[in-house]
């Protein structure tokens, strides 16, 4: 089901697709801070986990022929206190190296994987008639 994504270095998913591309839009599952073996990256570190989520998102975008510039909005879920949200947000702003797309930063009580502190969801739409700029090449 996710052979292309796994070949690109993303971890296996438990029974769901990573993404579905329809008419220039990419519907993505929330990206989690897992390495290719399925282990959490950045234990106890919201900034490292946010970066890992975004790196996995970039891989997913590339697999499906999209670019970081096609990300139209993001939602960042963070388990912990306000300081944890701020650490994750700092990593997000550093990662984009330009204005962050419209974003929502939410505190969460619990996420799907043991020791997971961050998950990032994205709305991805290719600009009609324009070649999206490649970032983070």
Give me the residue spans of the domains in the chain.
3-125
Reply yes or no on whether the pLDDT at 99 is more than 70.
Answer: yes
> What pLDDT is attached to residue 14?
87
Reply yes or no on whether the pLDDT at 1 is more than 80.
Answer: yes
| Residue 125, number of CB atoms within 10 A of its CB | 15
Sign of CA pseudo-dihedral 104, 108, 113, 118: positive
43-91 tens-digit pLDDT:
999 999 999 999 999 999 999 999 999 999 999 999 999 999 999 999 9
Max CA pair span of the chain: 43
Residue ranges of alpha helices (H) inside the chain are 3-7, 46-63, 82-96
Per the rule left: phi > 0, alpha: psi between -120 and 50, beta: everything else, 59 is alpha
Contact 75, 104 (CB under 8 A): yes
> What pLDDT is attached to residue 129?
55
Closest CA to 26 of 73, 66, 55, 77: 66
CA distance 87 to 105: 11
Domain 3-125 CATH superfamily = RutC-like (3.30.1330.40)
Query: Residue 57's Cα: distance from chain center in Å?
Result: 4
17-39 tens-digit pLDDT:
999 999 999 999 999 999 999 99
């Amino acid at each position: 089901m996710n052979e292309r994504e796994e070949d690109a270095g993303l971890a296996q998913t438990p029974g769901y697709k990573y993404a579905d591309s329809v008419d220039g839009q990419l519907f993505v599952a929330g990206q989690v801070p897992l390495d290719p073996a399925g282990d959490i990256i950045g234990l106890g570190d919201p900034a490292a986990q946010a970066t890992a989520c975004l790196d996995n998102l970039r891989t997913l975008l590339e697999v499906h022929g999209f670019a970081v510039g096609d990300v139209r909005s993001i939602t960042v879920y963070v388990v912990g206190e306000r300081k944890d949200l701020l650490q994750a947000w700092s990593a997000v702003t550093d990662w984009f190296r330009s204005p962050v797309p419209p974003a929502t930063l939410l505190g969460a009580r619990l996420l799907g994987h043991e020791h997971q502190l961050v998950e990032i969801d994205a709305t991805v739409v290719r600009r009609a008639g324009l070649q999206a700029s490649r970032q983070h090449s």
